[in-house]
């Protein structure tokens, strides 16, 4: 079975080809980062148009790199939500046309479900890791923060963000300091030479006894720190920041990582996590990866980290989640696969 995956939910146009064992034969990603960077965030209309422009060449590149013909494709899987509706429609419509023309099934994939299973994939041509249920998943990206329990055929949400997603907090705080977009990788690099223990910043809790995350208090605390230091959003050179600012960003990153790890710990005490799969763009963060791995070793939990190339949006994870769904549920009627801007995990 050759699976073709299509991802266009946000600002990455991606097409991937996988075989039936989950080997990634190709995973081509055209990033629109530069087009959006001048605005400090993703502009939906620009994203949709760029997907339309990029999709044909990304698609041909993915087939050529994988060395497969269109006639070999037995299943098409495309992100159907959640995401920017105009952006989603481009990839999903293309995928639907392809499935119709070739007479093969189409599966509409939940983007978050794609992230959730991405730690099981290898980017280097190895078959996917066998999935042992139940496992716990922590999806942390620019749009989402969610801790879930994954059982065979069922996803149970245990905690989610009440306001900003962690990636969003990285991006917004970096932007207000005058650092380039996206802020996550920039802060990650700055924090590497800072002292994360120097500033005490609020670690987000929803404050109602639930396990939900909240990052808005942390964001506000950071903005106050910037005001105090006269940072008004004028461009900052990230390579030679004063040590005090490097320490401030390191402390900010520490607060986000601490919030995430605390919740994992609470759920572990309650449900006894055996396997934790980390995923999403923020899963590329060095401190989060190191801290969770250490925690896993100390607590006898297998922590699965996605390869860095599979942390941000990509079609390989969509093809993989689509294949898993197809094996369990078969394919729905072509015209029942529709794009949805909102689509909570597990529904």
| Residue 194 lies near ligand KG4 (rule: CB under 6 A) | no
Q: Is 141 in the site for Zn ion (CB under 5 A)?
A: yes
Which residue in the set 282, 305, 318, 323 belongs to the binding site for ligand KG4 (CB under 6 A)?
282
| Least distance between ligand KG4 and beta carbon 274 (Å) | 25
Which residue in 137, 167, 296, 322 binds ligand KG4 (CB under 6 A)? 167
Pick 27 or 141: Cβ nearer Zn ion: 141
Three-class DSSP labels, 156-222: EEEEEECCCCHHHHHHHHHHHHCCCCCHHHHHHHHHCCCCCCCCCCCCCCCCCCCCCECCHHHHHHH
Could you say which of 82, 86, 182, 194 contacts ligand KG4 (CB under 6 A)? 182
User: Would you state the structure tokens that stand for residue 167, as one six-digit string?
Assistant: 């990636």
CB of 285 to ligand KG4, least distance (A): 3
Q: Does 32 help bind ligand KG4 (rule: CB under 6 A)?
A: no
Which residues are bridge partners to 219 per DSSP?
Answer: none
CB of 165 or CB of 331, closer to Zn ion: 165
Pick the piece of the chain touching Zn ion (CB under 5 A) from 135-143, 196-204, 296-304, 339-347: 135-143
Nearer to ligand KG4, 3 or 190 (CB): 190
Q: Specify the residue, 255 or 282, whose C-beta has the smaller distance to Zn ion.
A: 282
Considering the complex, what minimum distance in angstroms separates the CB of residue 16 from ligand KG4? 15
Chain-centroid distance of CA 318 in Å reads 11
At 57, which helix (H) or strand (E)?
helix 44-66
284 binds ligand KG4 (CB under 6 A): yes
Which residues are CB-contacts of 115 (< 8 A; sequence separation ≥ 6)? 139, 141, 144, 279, 280, 317
Q: Give the footprint of Zn ion on residues 275-314 (CB under 5 A).
A: 313
Distance in angstroms (rounded) separating the CA atoms of residues 99 and 72? 12
137 near ligand KG4, rule: CB under 6 A: no
CB of 270 to ligand KG4, least distance (A): 27
Q: Report the partner that residue 13 touches, choosing among ligand KG4, Zn ion, none (CB closer than 5 to 8 A by kind).
A: none
For residues 20 and 161, the answer to whether their CB atoms sit within 8 Å is no
Q: 9 CB contacts (<8 Å, ≥6 apart)?
A: 79, 81, 82, 83, 84, 87, 88, 91, 111, 313
Count helices and strands (H / E) in the chain.
10, 10
Query: Per CB under 6 A, does 42 bind ligand KG4?
Result: no
Query: Whole-number minimum distance, CB 281 to Zn ion, in Å?
Result: 6
Instruction: Between 199 and 252, name the residue whose CB sits nearer to ligand KG4.
Output: 252
Please give the C-alpha separations between residue 145 and each of 193, 204, 281, 328, in angstroms, as whole numbers: 26, 12, 11, 26
Number of neighbouring beta carbons within 10 Å of residue 255: 23
Given the complex with ligand KG4, which of 135 and 215 has the nearer CB atom? Answer: 215
Question: CB under 8 Å to 159, separation ≥6 — which residues?
Answer: 146, 147, 210, 211, 212, 213, 263, 267
Q: Which residue has the tokens 């990033």?
A: 31
- 215 to 244, contacts with Zn ion by CB under 5 A? none
Given the rule CB under 5 A, which residues bind Zn ion?
141, 313
Given the rule CB under 6 A, which residues bind ligand KG4?
10, 141-143, 167, 170-171, 182-185, 188, 280-282, 284-285, 312-313
């Amino acid at each position: 079975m050759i699976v073709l995956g299509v991802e266009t939910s946000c600002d990455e146009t991606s097409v991937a080809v996988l075989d039936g064992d989950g080997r990634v034969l190709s995973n081509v990603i055209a990033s629109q980062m530069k087009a959006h960077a001048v605005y400090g965030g993703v502009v939906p209309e620009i994203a949709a148009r760029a997907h339309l422009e990029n999709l044909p060449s990304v698609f041909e590149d993915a087939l050529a790199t994988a060395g497969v013909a269109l006639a070999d494709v037995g299943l098409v899987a495309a992100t159907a939500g959640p995401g920017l509706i105009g952006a989603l429609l481009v990839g999903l419509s293309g995928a639907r046309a392809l499935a119709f023309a070739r007479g093969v099934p189409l599966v509409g994939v939940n983007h978050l479900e794609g992230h959730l299973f991405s730690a099981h994939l290898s980017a280097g041509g190895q078959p996917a890791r066998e999935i042992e249920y139940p496992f716990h998943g922590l999806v942390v990206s620019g749009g989402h923060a969610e801790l879930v329990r994954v059982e065979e055929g069922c996803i149970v949400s245990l905690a989610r963000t009440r306001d900003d997603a962690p990636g969003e907090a990285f991006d917004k705080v970096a932007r207000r300091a005058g650092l380039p977009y996206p802020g996550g990788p920039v802060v990650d690099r700055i924090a590497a030479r800072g002292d994360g223990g120097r500033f005490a910043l609020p670690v987000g809790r929803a404050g109602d006894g639930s396990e939900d995350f909240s990052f808005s208090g942390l964001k506000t605390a950071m903005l106050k720190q910037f005001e105090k230091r006269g940072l008004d959003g004028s461009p900052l050179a990230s390579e030679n920041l004063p040590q005090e600012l490097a320490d401030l960003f390191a402390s900010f990153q520490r607060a986000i990582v601490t919030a995430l790890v605390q919740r994992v710990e609470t759920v572990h005490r309650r449900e006894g996590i055996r396997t934790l799969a980390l995923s999403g763009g923020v899963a590329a963060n060095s401190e989060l990866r190191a801290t969770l791995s250490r925690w896993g070793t100390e607590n006898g939990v297998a922590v699965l980290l996605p390869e860095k190339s599979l942390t941000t949006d990509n079609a390989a994870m969509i093809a993989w989640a689509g294949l898993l769904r197809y094996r369990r549920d078969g394919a729905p009627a072509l015209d029942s696969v529709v794009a949805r801007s909102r689509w909570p995990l597990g529904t």
